Chains A and B, each alone.
Chain A
Amino acid sequence: MRIILYLIQKEFLQIFRNKTNLPILFVMPVLQLIVLSYAADFEIKNLKVYWMDNDQSSASRQLYRDLTASGYFTIAGTGFDHAEAAAALDKNEADLVVEIPAGMEKKLVRKEPQQLQVIVNAIDGTKAGLANYYFGRILGDYNQREVAALQMRVVASGQPIARQVINVESSFWFNPELNYKTFMVPGILVLLVTMIGAFLSSMNIVREKEIGTIEQINVTPIQKYQFVIGKLLPFWLLGLMVLSIGLMVAKVVFNIPFVGSVGLIYAFSAVYLLLILGFGLLISTLTDTQQQAMFLAWFFLVVFILMGGLFTAIENMPGWAQTITLFNPIRYFIEFVRLVMLKGAGWQETRFFFAVIFGYAVLLNGLAILNYKKTA
């Protein structure tokens, strides 16, 4: 035990002596959390519409007013020529083209089905999906209000929107203002804690191999487990420290609600960091230089981050990709943090996450220790 304490003391001495470590540990996470949270804005406003009104009726003008009043759309151009509309899409001057057919109002009055065309620029899939969705909603409301009694079928980019018989009133629970920051900040914090834990621990152990100091340690009667604990515990503590700083930033800068128990978040993070440090340890046993460790860790982390559900909702992924995310620890942490911070989930609701992450931690650390014994 005394030996482990000395090793930890030595490790902290080295960590704090390395001039690049302090900013990496304490300044970068704060900056990244702030910058990334403001940058990762998924709200889409000011979608540019090219308006082709072939009807020029009061009905079409009403739709025009609804569109511009929604706040999501601005009119980038109007005209009657299909070629011009296509050119506007080509030049990125418009995100979508709305074409009102001639005689729309007449047909509405005569209770005949009516179609109008929406062409969406789908180069940016997220934006296109949202544009289509927003427009559909506006049209739905319009449908409801203006031609409730009339038969009208509207086709927006090929998908018929059914006649609204039931009035749908949406309300967003747990994040009533749909504030994307409430959604993003906890997720980004998870990424930062993961990256710092995985990179620093894997690089640190490999470094001992690379500069040969592990040789001098190996000839001493020190036990492998003492060495491993002495290596991982400091990073476990640092990981929790980064988490604390991040939570403070989340509260102070972004005013993210803490509905659930902070203690539960710490308890989960403690287990989660064991997993991440086991991951780092495993990588360090597989590599001989810091460069190799960096590449290997980076490879996995990119997959973990992009498939963690922060940037692409897991429900939107194809089935096989969703299966892959089941092996992604970040996925569980992000879900957990959101559940607890925003929804106030307690132990009962999050037991499953604890079990998965704990099992995963045992598995990775077990593999790492087996591999470590073999190689060193």
Chain B
Amino acid sequence: MENQNAVIVKNLVKTYAHVEALKEISLNVKKGELFGVIGPDGAGKTSLFRIMSSLLLPDSGEVNVLGIDVTRDYASIRKKMGYMPGRFSLYQDLSIEENINLFASIYDTTLEENYENIRYIYSQIEPFRKRRAGALSGGMKQKLALCCALVHSPEILFLDEPTTGVDAVSRSEFWEILQMLKKRGMTILVSTPYMDEASLCDRVALMQDGRILSVDTPAKITTAYAYSLVAIKTNEKYNMLSSLRMLEQATLVYPFGENIHVVSDKGKLTSEELTKYLSAQGMENWEIVEVAPDIEDCFIALMNQHVAA
């Protein structure tokens, strides 16, 4: 059982001056899994990733990656992992080729030796290999960073917000690459603030305020949704929001894309009651739309639960 886990995190605590970034976090990631850590900015994702990749020491708790205690034997884990920080951290004044060659030689290998491993990604930026990294677009920078993180054929990959600030097309390309790497058996941990990327992971951990709210497959997280959810389509969003927020049975009311989502405890608020209430409020031009909760709904509900508790 133990050796099926690529990452074991137990009771991890990290405190900066007066901020508790991580509050007793525990989590397991299986080998070969594409694992997402989802949460808003400031949730503690980066602290968690920096600790897992041996860049930061925790105050207490255990981190075990590929059977190696990261806090003690960081030298040997660094050979086996690839890490891509959220901020582009390659040499902007070196070309694509020079960056990759530099990191290859630091790992005592060469681009040629590992060409097959990164061919799929490298081939996309190879035409620009003489161009300096600083002159690349956001999407190309991400691909270059990924190449550098993969050039030594690591067994596990830590990606800290790889798609933040990258355009939609590059984002989906990037996820395709991750799926491909996963097929080859690589364990991948990726953090993201984008809820829509959660469904692309095998399992996700929802993180908020230094705590993990839930860990499961995206499907299970959505089916475990413990509330009834109704979406209302309207042109008068502001009035609709304010009148719905007065409704006692509605636990949560928030705008969601084009609609407004109304969350209530199961069986507490039927469509009829809602219709009646809105008519009584004198609202016009609206309709109730059937929706299934997605990860973001789950996240908002879990966050609310957490705050209430």
B102 / chain A contacts, CB cutoff of 8 Å: 6, 10
B89 A213 Cβ-Cβ under 8 A: yes
* Cβ contacts B75-117/A at 8 Å (1 or 0 each): 1001101010101111111100010001101111000000000
B54 contacts A by Cβ under 8 Å: yes
A219 / chain B contacts, CB cutoff of 8 Å: 53-55, 78, 81, 83
A221 B75 Cβ-Cβ under 8 A: yes
A3 B78 Cβ-Cβ under 8 A: no
B93 A18 Cβ-Cβ under 8 A: yes
B240 contacts A by Cβ under 8 Å: no
A220 contacts B by Cβ under 8 Å: yes
A10 B55 Cβ-Cβ under 8 A: no
B107 A6 Cβ-Cβ under 8 A: no
B89 A216 Cβ-Cβ under 8 A: yes
Of A6, A13, A14, A212, the residue contacting B87 (CB under 8 A) is A212
Minimum distance in angstroms from A271 CB to a CB of chain B: 30
B85 A10 Cβ-Cβ under 8 A: no
- Given known A216-B148, A218-B55, contact A17–B93 (CB-CB < 8 A): yes
Of B78, B89, B93, B105, the residue contacting A215 (CB under 8 A) is B89
16-44 of chain B: CB within 8 A of chain A: none
Interface size on B, residues (CB 8 A): 25
* Cβ contacts A207-243/B at 8 Å (1 or 0 each): 0000111011111111000000000000000000000
B78 / chain A contacts, CB cutoff of 8 Å: 219-221
A14 B85 Cβ-Cβ under 8 A: no
A213 / chain B contacts, CB cutoff of 8 Å: 89-91
Minimum distance in angstroms from B188 CB to a CB of chain A: 16
A215 B55 Cβ-Cβ under 8 A: yes
B108 A215 Cβ-Cβ under 8 A: no
- Given known A215-B85, A215-B89, A216-B90, contact A221–B79 (CB-CB < 8 A): yes
B88 / chain A contacts, CB cutoff of 8 Å: 212
* Cβ contacts B133-154/A at 8 Å (1 or 0 each): 0000000000000001000000
A211 B94 Cβ-Cβ under 8 A: no
B55 A220 Cβ-Cβ under 8 A: no
- Once the chains are docked, how many angstroms separate the CA of A146 from the CA of B34? 104
A10 B89 Cβ-Cβ under 8 A: no
B106 A6 Cβ-Cβ under 8 A: yes
Minimum distance in angstroms from B4 CB to a CB of chain A: 25
B55 / chain A contacts, CB cutoff of 8 Å: 215, 218-219
A145 contacts B by Cβ under 8 Å: no
Most buried by B among A2, A17, A219, A221: A219
Interface size on A, residues (CB 8 A): 20
B85 / chain A contacts, CB cutoff of 8 Å: 212, 215-216
* Cβ contacts A1-28/B at 8 Å (1 or 0 each): 0110011001001100110000000000
Of A14, A218, A220, the residue contacting B91 (CB under 8 A) is A14
B92 / chain A contacts, CB cutoff of 8 Å: 211
Minimum distance in angstroms from B250 CB to a CB of chain A: 45
Most buried by B among A7, A18, A212, A220: A220
- Once the chains are docked, how many angstroms separate the CA of A14 from the CA of B88? 18
By beta carbon, the residue of chain B nearest A217 is B106
- Once the chains are docked, how many angstroms separate the CA of A7 from the CA of B89? 16
Of B75, B81, B98, the residue contacting A10 (CB under 8 A) is B98
B90 / chain A contacts, CB cutoff of 8 Å: 213, 216
- Once the chains are docked, how many angstroms separate the CA of A17 from the CA of B55? 30
B106 / chain A contacts, CB cutoff of 8 Å: 3, 6-7, 217, 220-222
39-59 of chain B: CB within 8 A of chain A: 53-55
A220 B54 Cβ-Cβ under 8 A: no
Of B53, B91, B108, the residue contacting A3 (CB under 8 A) is B108
Minimum distance in angstroms from B41 CB to a CB of chain A: 17
Of B93, B98, B107, the residue contacting A221 (CB under 8 A) is B107
By beta carbon, the residue of chain B nearest A227 is B106
**Which chain A residues have a beta carbon within 8 Å of chain B's beta carbons?**
2-3, 6-7, 10, 13-14, 17-18, 211-213, 215-222
Extra 4 A-B pairs, beta carbons < 8 Å, given A14-B93, A212-B89: A2-B105, A6-B102, A17-B94, A212-B88
- Could you give 18 example pairs across A and B, Cβ below 8 Å? A3-B106, A10-B94, A10-B98, A17-B93, A18-B93, A211-B92, A212-B85, A212-B88, A215-B87, A216-B85, A216-B89, A216-B103, A216-B148, A217-B106, A218-B55, A219-B54, A219-B81, A219-B83
**Which chain B residues have a beta carbon within 8 Å of chain A's beta carbons?**
53-55, 75, 78-79, 81, 83, 85, 87-94, 98, 102-103, 105-108, 148
Closest 10 CB pairs of A and B: A216-B89, A212-B89, A6-B105, A219-B83, A221-B78, A220-B106, A221-B79, A212-B87, A215-B89, A215-B85
